[in-house]
């Protein structure tokens, strides 16, 4: 699987477009969209999250309406997530769903807690709306199309100040909404209409974060408080936003996710990234060797190197590996170079890319440094069982 995959899974059960981004050794975070949205709704968050996770986004694919009868269930949409994880070989994952995606998250927490490490349900409710509301929306769009409700939807999704200050993002979101397949949208309306988890929330055993916007007119603070009160191990976070809080406040939203899923301290976040890059065995060995003499230095490495530098969003971990190896060649740090050659595979670096880094170093660091680097890299390849023909 590539580091940045846009693919389609198709079988007898479903056809799902999905995108998987991030480095191979990072845990997976699944995003589930709101009604009328595509995976692009999460675009603003992804750069902040890639230092910590493999980010898996997908477009919900409701069953085709049967003879004009809209009878899709949240169960159908929840099972799509399980099928997607199964086909990608992902045993467990973090999950974040907004609105309809939050209903899917509740279903997963109740029915498949063993697959979800931690759960985030955002701008959602245990029961959203009523039959009259959803049947009326189905009738409106089937007769007049998505254009009939797009303006009202944008007002519900975004605060007035966001609409005024971010016209391009609102225009992109409006275009996304108008691309919605009317029968599919209507079938998702039916799924939301019939979903009611009010009497089942206590069965969700997954640690859960509930997020909402203080101006959300669709799923208000009262509904979020009901979720947090009735899900056994849950907390509540309220943002200054309307319904699409993740799109309106991507940096703040991402920070809340990282604090909940990884840890609030720089040390916790650094240790998470350090393990994903260097591997648990290496970090456990280093931690086992901590004593009164080197403890401050080990804390410094975890906090500063891994918690503050490797978590910065504007350079990928893949590219950081390449740059780090190049600098270690120039500095003639053989042990550190070998460690980062080994670690680079956790960041999706290939043997061919390592070769090119060393070739480039031959120009700017000198032939002896490059020669030493080739020998050191081959020692690592042999240790890892990588055969070079």
pLDDT of 264 higher than 70: yes
Query: Considering the entire predicted model, what is its pTM?
Result: 0.94
Tell me, what's the pLDDT at 71? 87
- Tell me the per-residue pLDDT of 303-361, one tens digit each, with 9 for 90 and over: 999 999 999 999 999 999 999 999 999 999 999 999 999 999 999 999 999 999 999 99
- Tell me the per-residue pLDDT of 363-383, one tens digit each, with 9 for 90 and over: 999 999 999 999 999 999 999
pLDDT of 4 higher than 90: no
- Report how far residue 308's alpha carbon sits from residue 304's, in angstroms, rounded to the nearest whole number: 5
Tell me, what's the pLDDT at 337? 98
- Tell me the per-residue pLDDT of 200-218, one tens digit each, with 9 for 90 and over: 999 999 999 999 999 999 9
For the residues 247-251, what does the mean pLDDT come to?
A: 97
For the residues 247-255, what does the mean pLDDT come to?
A: 98
Contacts of 251-256 with C-beta under 8 Å, sequence gap 24+, read 251/44, 251/48, 253/45, 253/211, 254/45, 254/48, 254/49, 255/48, 256/209, 256/211
pLDDT of 245 higher than 80: yes
Q: What DSSP letter does each residue of 228-256 carry, written as one string? A: HHHSTTEEEEEES--S-HHHHSHHHHHHH
Q: What DSSP letter does each residue of 178-247 carry, written as one string? A: HTS-HHHHHHHHHHHHH---TTTGGG--S-EEEEEETT-SSS-HHHHHHHHHHSTTEEEEEES--S-HHH
Tell me, what's the pLDDT at 66? 76
The highest-level CATH class for domain 4-261 is alpha beta
**Where does the pLDDT of residue 69 fall: very low under 50, low under 70, confident under 90, or very high at 90 and above?**
confident
- Tell me the per-residue pLDDT of 116-162, one tens digit each, with 9 for 90 and over: 999 999 999 999 999 999 999 999 999 999 999 999 999 999 999 99
Tell me, what's the pLDDT at 316? 96
Domain ranges for the chain, please list them.
4-261, 266-384
67 burial (CB, 10 Å; 0-12 / 13-18 / 19+) is exposed
pLDDT of 6 higher than 70: no
pLDDT of 14 higher than 70: no
Tell me, what's the pLDDT at 67? 73
CB 106 within 8 A of CB 228: no
pLDDT of 3 higher than 70: no
For the residues 6-35, what does the mean pLDDT come to?
A: 82
For the residues 28-42, what does the mean pLDDT come to?
A: 97
**180 phi, psi to nearest 5 deg:** -55, 135
User: What fold, for 266-384?
Assistant: AhpD-like (1.20.1290)
- Tell me the per-residue pLDDT of 265-291, one tens digit each, with 9 for 90 and over: 999 999 999 999 999 999 999 999 999
Closest CA to 280 of 203, 350, 346, 184: 346
Tell me, what's the pLDDT at 145? 97
Mean pLDDT of the chain: 95
């Amino acid at each position: 699987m590539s580091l940045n995959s846009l693919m389609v899974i198709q079988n007898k059960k479903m056809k799902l477009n999905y995108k998987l981004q991030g480095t191979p050794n990072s845990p997976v975070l699944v995003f589930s969209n709101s009604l009328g949205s595509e995976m692009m709704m999460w675009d603003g968050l992804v750069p902040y999250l890639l230092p910590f996770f493999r980010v898996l986004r997908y477009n919900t694919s409701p069953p085709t309406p049967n003879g004009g009868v809209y009878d899709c269930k949240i169960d159908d949409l929840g099972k799509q997530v399980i099928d997607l994880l199964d086909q990608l070989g992902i045993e467990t994952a973090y999950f974040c769903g907004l609105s309809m995606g939050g209903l899917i998250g509740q279903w997963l927490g109740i029915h498949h807690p063993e697959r979800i490490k931690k759960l985030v349900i955002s701008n959602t409710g245990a029961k959203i709306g009523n039959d009259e509301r959803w049947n009326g929306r189905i009738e409106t769009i089937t007769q007049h199309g998505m254009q009939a409700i797009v303006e009202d939807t944008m007002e519900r999704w975004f605060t007035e100040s966001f609409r005024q200050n971010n016209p391009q993002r609102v225009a992109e979101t409006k275009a996304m909404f108008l691309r919605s397949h009317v029968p599919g949208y209507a079938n998702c309306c039916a799924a939301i209409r019939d979903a009611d988890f009010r009497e089942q929330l206590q069965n969700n055993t997954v640690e859960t974060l509930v997020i909402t916007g203080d101006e959300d007119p669709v799923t208000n603070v009262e509904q979020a408080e009901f979720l947090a009160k009735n899900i056994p191990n849950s907390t509540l976070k309220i943002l200054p936003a309307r319904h699409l809080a993740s799109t309106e406040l991507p940096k703040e939203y991402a920070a809340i996710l990282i604090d909940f899923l990884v840890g609030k301290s720089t040390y916790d976040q650094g240790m998470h990234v350090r393990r994903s890059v260097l591997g648990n065995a290496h970090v456990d060995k280093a931690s086992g060797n901590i004593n009164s003499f080197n403890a401050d230095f080990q804390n410094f490495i975890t906090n500063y190197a891994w918690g503050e530098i490797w978590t910065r969003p504007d350079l990928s971990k893949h590219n950081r590996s390449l740059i780090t190896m190049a600098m270690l060649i120039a500095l003639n740090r053989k042990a550190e170079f070998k460690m980062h050659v080994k670690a680079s595979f956790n960041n999706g670096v290939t043997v061919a890319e390592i070769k090119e880094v060393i070739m480039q170093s031959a120009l700017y660091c000198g032939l002896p440094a490059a020669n030493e680097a080739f020998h050191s890299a081959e020692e690592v390849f042999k240790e890892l069982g990588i055969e070079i023909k």
